[in-house]
Amino acid sequence: MSATDAYLHPDIISTIGNTPCIRINQLAPDGVTIYVKAEFFNPGASVKDRLAMSIIEDAEKSGELKPGQTVVEATSGNTGIGLAMVCAAKGYPFVCTMAESFSVERRKLMRYLGAKVVLTPKEEKGTGMVRKARELAEKNGWFLARQFETEANADIHEKTTGPEIIADFAGQKLDYWVTGFGTGGTVTGVARVLRRERPDTKIILSEPANAAMVSSGTPQERREDGAAASSHPAWEPHPIQGWSPDFIPLVIQESIDNQYYDEILPVAGPEGIKWARELAAKEGIMTGISGGSTFAVARQIAEKAEKGTVILCMLPDTAERYMSTPLFESIPAEMDDEEADLAAQ
């Protein structure tokens, strides 16, 4: 393959993965190095592109997904966008069920990619949209993606995200790896690799301060198939979209049972919003509230760390799908006084 051929891709799916680790230059404390793994470099602009590809290709290989069969899944947005993209590229109809409380731009992006979006009442929370997806799959004979339970979720991070981190830090220090969780696929898959190949790297898990389900120690009630049977009692509404649905997914249960993480740290939604804005204004890095929240925890560790410490944190997605959320509510559309003065010059 020539150098030119290396840039010719057979489809959009082949561009998923190999996202960069970027050094933080303005916001890292003196003597501590922070890198961010920018998952918005994936074609659908989030880490969930990996999961979407894995679910569909795994189901194709097993024969569970038939040519032309409709795919259905419950999602807060990023998995749905990833699945809509992969299904469009492969010729599968896609239907998403999503609680009406999630950002408008997410549903528009999925519809832009040819998907159908079925909204569920916000009062029914994440469990409501999961229940609706299951009902639609059973009634219509559709393929249910089951992102919260499928082994294809953590497996893709063990095959791709983890090895990418190992390769990027080969011969280099990596003292901490920081991540939050939605389904738990990223932490479970990457932790398998780090525990095996970089056991000295401390794994830090984070969750919303007011939805600290894992920290609570209260087990999740489950159905026979492993899916959550009900909302978790420690969950409360929070602004970190994509993190911590109102139940503990089966995928992250492996990390909990095997204590893959060294510490779990809470983060408040306003802190995540603050640091997402700081990353944009001071580093030119545009990430969403989940990325800002992960970075907030990385900063918290960095402030107490010894000189020479190296930290890597995950940035799950981009800022642009948060335009209608609190992340952008203080960002005006009209000129402020200073801009008006400049316009008048």
Pick from 296, 294, 289: which is nearest to 273 by CA? 289
Judge whether 290 is annotated as a binding position. yes
Judge whether 120 is annotated as a binding position. no
Could you say which of 76, 206, 255, 290 is catalytic? 290
Beta strands in the chain (DSSP E): 21-23, 33-38, 71-74, 94-99, 116-120, 143-144, 176-179, 202-208, 263-267, 310-315
Q: Is 290 a catalytic residue?
A: yes
Judge whether 217 is annotated as a binding position. no
Judge whether 103 is annotated as a binding position. no
Distance CA 134, CA 142 (A): 9
Residues paired with 210 in a beta bridge: none
Angle between helix axes 78-90 and 104-112 (nearest 10 degrees) is 0
What is the DSSP code string of 151-205?
Answer: HHHHHHIIIIIHHHHHHHTTTS---EEEE--SSSHHHHHHHHHHHHH-TTSEEEE
Judge whether 62 is annotated as a binding position. no
Q: Do 20 and 293 contact (CB within 8 A), yes or no? A: no
Judge whether 4 is annotated as a binding position. no
Give 12: exposed, middle or buried? Use CB within 10 Å, 0-12, 13-18, 19+. Answer: middle
Pairing state between β 21-23 and 33-38? antiparallel
In this structure, is the dihedral angle defined by the CA atoms of residues 271, 274, 275 and 276, taken in order, positive or negative?
positive
Q: Is 244 a catalytic residue?
A: no
Beta strands in 104-150 (DSSP E): 116-120, 143-144
Judge whether 308 is annotated as a binding position. no
With b meaning 16 or more CB within 10 Å and e meaning fewer, what string describes 113-122? Answer: bebebeebee
Could you say which of 37, 48, 125, 132 is catalytic? 48
Contacts of 108 (CB under 8 A, 6+ apart): none
Active site residues: 48, 290
Binding site residues for pyridoxal 5'-phosphate, as ranges? 78, 182-186, 290
